Amino acid sequence: MSIDARLVQAAFDPAAELACFATSGAGAVASFTGLARATSKAGSTVTGLFLDHHPRLTQTSLDEAARAVTTRFDLSAVRVVHRCGQIAPGEAIVFVAAAAAHRRAAIEAVDYLMDRLKTDAVFWKREDAVDGSRWIEPTEGDRADRARWED
């Protein structure tokens, strides 16, 4: 079992992450890339996203989510790459991938992992737009998505 959870400040290439990860030899690889939006929920132009973090607490939260997915699904490998700091619209914020013998485990693992990261990863998110800045919290929808995995 290979677990790789990284917190990065610089932009990264999701295609390169996937190409490297897909060499794991598994029967199925599923991935997800989250991008910084160019438009806010209110419809204004976003100039950037800032993800503040606490290095040790944030890394620990990424590690915990990555370990949790491996206990829930039959995986051979999992990768999480999550940005922090200043992120421009269109840049990748997060990349997650799961490798398994079969597709369903890989697909569900990625879905589960994103639900965990949206609610449990230790970040303070600020969206900067032409009409001002606002802090972003997990929504009720995010919490409902996370709750569907509770036993």
Please report whether residue 136 resides in a domain: no
Q: Does residue 111 lie within any of the structural domains?
A: yes
The share of the chain scoring above pLDDT 70, in percent, equals 98
Domain presence at residue 149? no
Give the count of alpha carbons within 13 A of 60, CB side only.
4
Angle at 124 between CA 55 and CA 57, to 5 degrees: 30
Alpha-carbon distance of 75 to 105, in angstroms, equals 7
Kindly state whether residue 137 falls inside one of the protein's structural domains: no
With contact defined as beta carbons under 8 Å apart, do 97 and 29 qualify? yes
Q: What is the CATH number of the domain that holds 44?
A: 3.90.1170.40
Span 2-25, pLDDT tens digits: 999 999 999 999 999 999 998 667
Number of domains in the chain: 1
pLDDT tens digits, one per residue of 91-110: 999 999 999 999 999 999 99
The reply to whether 141 falls in a domain is no
Report the predicted TM-score, pTM, of the whole model to 2 decimal places: 0.94
pLDDT single digits (tens) 48-76: 999 999 999 999 999 999 999 999 999 99
Please report, rounded to a whole number, the percentage of residues in the chain having pLDDT higher than 90.
Answer: 91
Does residue 143 fall inside a structural domain?
Answer: no
- Domain holding 89, by residue range, is 2-131
The verdict on residue 142 lying in a domain is: no
